Amino acid sequence: MHQSFWNEIRVDYNRLSYLTCMVDRCISPLVMVSFIDNILFLCIQLYQSLNGQNNCSDVVRSVAI
């Protein structure tokens, strides 16, 4: 294989690596917010279940507030 082929492969790899880093920088805050939101929802559900509210409408009403 020629040197130009490997140079082109290296350039393509560097471009893809840069693109991956840029996408990661944009998406990582969204992933973190989603994760925190899910943990908060689980904690609220756990608290409500331990609090003794067995009626579904009470749980939904308290989470919506």
Model confidence over 27-56: pLDDT tens digits?
999 999 999 999 999 999 999 888 875 566
d(CA 12, CA 9): 5
Q: Is the dihedral of CA 42, 43, 45, 49 positive or negative?
A: positive
Two tokens at 8?
A: 């082109």
Say what the pLDDT of residue 41 is: 96
Host domain of residue 41? 3-64
pTM recorded for the entire structure? 0.55
Total number of domains constituting the chain: 1
Two tokens at 38?
A: 């899910």
63 Cβ partners below 8 Å, 6+ apart?
41, 44, 45, 48
Q: Is the dihedral of CA 32, 36, 37, 42 positive or negative?
A: positive
Whether the pLDDT of residue 60 is over 80: the answer is no
